[in-house]
């Protein structure tokens, strides 16, 4: 009887972890726009059970020079960002360690090498307490 309970518990935990990992990746296709304007690259909800998310950038309009994050509904501590490029080159790892208040924005992040074709942006964070709710994190890029 105990073996069955342990098995059911393991299956439940595995299912939960699989679902949370699948939800952690969001695929976004940015809309076309004029050069010099910020474009939304994707939005994720930072939950208290996860510690990082990935926004996959697809589409013909994915050459960007700078990034920034906007956070709503709850504050967030951004710890690290990994930017991957479509050319398969070495990812750009940025140790950020900045706090973004509720309704605030991160500093502007200049990407190395000028305009680069983004593949994905992965970021690690800490949320500021369960009572504050979930933070909605929006990634912006500028050409």
pLDDT digit string, tens, across residues 23-46:
455 555 555 556 678 999 999 998
User: How far apart (Å, rounded) are the C-alpha atoms in residues 62 and 117?
Assistant: 5
What are the residues facing 95 on neighbouring strands? Answer: 80
Q: In whole angstroms, what separates CA 49 from the centre of its chain?
A: 15
User: How far apart (Å, rounded) are the C-alpha atoms in residues 39 and 5?
Assistant: 49
pLDDT digit string, tens, across residues 40-74:
999 999 877 678 899 998 866 578 889 999 999 88
Share of the chain above pLDDT 70, in %: 69
Question: In the chain, what is the greatest distance between 2 CA atoms, to the nearest angstrom?
Answer: 64
DSSP string, 32-43: P--TTS-EEEEE
CATH 3.30.530.20 fits 26-142, yes or no: no
Q: Do 44 and 53 contact (CB within 8 A), yes or no?
A: yes
Band of residue 10 on the pLDDT scale cut at 50, 70, 90: low
To 5 degrees, how large is the angle CA 133–CA 139–CA 143? 165
pLDDT at 21 over 50: no
Question: What does the buried/exposed string (b/e) look like for 122-134 if buried means 16 or more CB atoms within 10 Å of the residue's CB?
Answer: bbbbebbeeeeeb
Going by C-alpha positions, the residue among 27, 29, 75 that lies closest to residue 53 is 27
Domain locations along the chain: 26-142
Residue with tokens 């939960």: 16
């Amino acid at each position: 009887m105990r073996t069955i309970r342990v098995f059911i518990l393991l299956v439940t935990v595995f299912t939960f972890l699989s679902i949370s990992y699948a939800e952690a990746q969001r695929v976004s296709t940015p809309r076309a726009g004029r050069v010099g304007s910020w474009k939304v690259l994707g939005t994720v909800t930072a939950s208290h059970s996860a510690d990082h998310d990935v926004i996959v950038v697809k589409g013909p309009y994915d050459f960007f020079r700078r990034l920034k994050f906007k956070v709503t509904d709850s504050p967030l501590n951004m710890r690290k960002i990994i930017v991957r490029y479509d050319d398969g080159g070495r990812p750009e790892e940025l140790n950020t360690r900045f706090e973004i208040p509720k309704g605030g924005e991160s500093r502007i992040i200049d990407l190395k090498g000028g305009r680069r074709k983004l593949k994905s942006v992965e970021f690690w964070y800490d949320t500021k307490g369960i009572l504050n709710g979930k933070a909605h994190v929006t990634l912006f890029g500028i050409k």
